[in-house]
Amino acid sequence: MNSVYDVTQLLKRFGIFVYTKDRLADLEMMEEEIKELYRMQMIEVKEYQLALLLLRQEQSKYKQ
């Protein structure tokens, strides 16, 4: 996983599509979905950590 696009592909594997026309809201919603998948033990720790890192890096670009 190298980009936010890869995170969206991970979510799509589980039938989760996120698009609200607000990029920051999309990123926050994706983060919540990733956390929920991890809580349900549907993704591994490494996937969870990397996805959160990528999403938070992207969020920081929009919050500046």
pLDDT per residue as tens digits for the range 48-59: 999 999 999 999
**What pTM value is reported for the model?**
0.93
Angle, helix 4-13 to helix 45-63, in steps of 10 degrees: 130
Going from the C-alpha of 9 to that of each of 12, 36, 63, 64, the distances in angstroms are 5, 16, 24, 26
Among 62, 61, 31, residue whose Cα is nearest residue 49: 31
pLDDT per residue as tens digits for the range 22-57: 999 999 999 999 999 999 999 999 999 999 999 999
Domains of the chain: 4-63 (1.10.287.760)
